[in-house]
Amino acid sequence: MARSSLTTIVNDLQDDAGSVLWSFVRGEQMEYPIILNFLSVVGIPNTYTFEAVVIEANNVSGSDSVPTIPRTGGVHTTLGVRVPLVRQNTVDPDPEIFGTWNATMAYDREDVVYYGGIYYKLKKDIGRINATTPNLDTLYWIPYVPNKVYIQFLAGLGSTIANPSWAVSPTVSSPVFGFFELRVTEPNDGVFQRTWKPVRGVVELLFSPTDIVADL
């Protein structure tokens, strides 16, 4: 079989689902789940590290178009990345052993356990100890996808609440924008440390009257 021409592209060996847009009224505080399809389990301590950032775009007052470049010297904001942890019950990092549900352990809300080939997350309670298995204790445990992280956008993004304010503020008729990216890095095993950047996109901040009026 003849070899393909160098520019006859038939396979995309690295792809994604496209860029994302997050739209907030300035001052909103939100948390969004992201499923990392290239990983299986992310909640085991001392494994993957996560970095999510927003950098201020070169916004123009009165414009509703997304800028094409960052602002020189603009604000750089590191976002929180919350990873529900698989509760440790062994030092063995094997996902099918690590985190296996134990009837004598105390579990807190958002803890993740492994039972019967399925991961479960505790949806409420603190210090819960109960002998009912997670598959039957449906008031407290729910099936969980263990390759999920949560990106946290704080209320102060782009304003003076918690961060330096962006150079341009949104108006009633025009938003302002920033550029977002999530980076995932695996542990350094001494052979080759991989880094992924699976989610990129734009953050839009809209005008907010309550962001201007002094808090009660």
pLDDT in tens, 146-190: 999 999 999 999 987 766 789 999 999 999 999 999 999 998 887
Average pLDDT over residues 112-135: 94
Share the mean pLDDT of the chain.
Answer: 89
Domains detected in the chain: 20-83+147-212 (2.60.40), 85-143 (2.10.10)
Read off the tokens for 95.
Answer: 């996902």
Q: Tell me the pLDDT band of 89, cut-offs 50, 70 and 90.
A: confident
Phi, psi of 212 (to 5 degrees): -95, -40
Q: Specify whether the CB–CB gap between 89 and 79 falls below 8 A.
A: no
Place of tokens 């960052």: 70
Spell out the SS3 assignment of 3-26: CCCCCCCCCCCCCCCCCEEEEEEC
Strands 195-206 and 176-185, how do they pair? antiparallel
Residue 135 CA, chain-centre distance (Å), reads: 27
What's the length of the chain?
216
pLDDT in tens, 43-82: 888 889 999 999 999 999 999 899 999 999 999 999 999 9
